[in-house]
Homo-oligomer: A and B are copies of this chain.
Amino acid sequence: MKQTTHYTACTISREKCRCFEMLSKEEVELLKENSVNIEFKKKEMICKQGGLVSHIMYVEKGLAKVFIEDGNNTLVLKVVSTGNFVALTSVSEEFNTYKYSAMAYVDTLIKQIDVNIFRNLIKQNAHFAKEVIDILSVNNSQIYGRFFCFTHKQSYGRVADILLCMAERVFNSNEFELPLSRKDLAELTGMSSETIVRILKKFDEDKLIKLTGKTIKLINIEQLLHISDKG
A129 within 8 A of B: yes
Which chain B residue has the least Cβ–Cβ distance from A99?
Answer: B141
What residues of B have a CB within 8 angstroms of the CB of A146 in the complex? Answer: 147
User: For the side of the interface on A, what is the size category?
Assistant: 35 or more
The chain B residue with its CB closest to the CB of A138 is: B94
A5 touches B147 (CB 8 A): no
Q: Which residue of B lies closest to A140 (CB)?
A: B89
Closest B-chain residue to A77, C-beta based? Answer: B144
Beta-carbon contacts of A1-33 to B below 8 Å, as 1s and 0s? 001111100000000000000000000000000
Give Cα A66 to B144, complex, Å. Answer: 11
Collect the chain B residues with CB atoms within 8 Å of residue A119's CB. Answer: 130
Q: Is the CB of B91 within 8 A of A7?
A: no
Q: How far is the CA of A69 from the CA of B6 in the complex (A)?
A: 9
B6 & A137 in contact (Cβ 8 Å cutoff): no
Q: Report the Cα distance A53→B144, complex, angstroms.
A: 18
Cα of A146 to Cα of B140 in the assembled complex, Å: 13
Q: Assuming A5-B50, A50-B3, A147-B150, is B123 touching A130 (CB within 8 A)?
A: yes
Measured CB to CB, the nearest residue on chain B to A128 is B126
Interface contact B136-A140, CB-CB below 8 Å:
yes
Known: A129-B129, A148-B68, A151-B150. A137 touches B5 (CB 8 A): no
Q: Select one of B122, B129, B133, B151 contacting A190, CB under 8 A.
A: B151
> If A144-B77, A147-B150 touch, does A134 touch B94 (CB 8 Å cutoff)?
yes
| Cα separation A166 to B95 with both chains bound (whole Å) | 24
Q: Which residues of A pack against B, CB within 8 Å?
A: 3-7, 49-50, 68-73, 75, 77, 89-95, 99-100, 119, 122-127, 129-130, 132-134, 136-141, 143-148, 150-152, 190
29 A/B residue pairs, CB under 8 Å, sorted by A: A7-B68, A68-B144, A68-B145, A68-B148, A70-B148, A72-B152, A75-B147, A75-B151, A77-B144, A77-B147, A91-B133, A92-B133, A92-B137, A92-B138, A94-B134, A95-B137, A99-B141, A100-B144, A119-B130, A122-B130, A122-B133, A123-B127, A124-B126, A129-B133, A136-B137, A139-B140, A143-B144, A150-B150, A151-B190
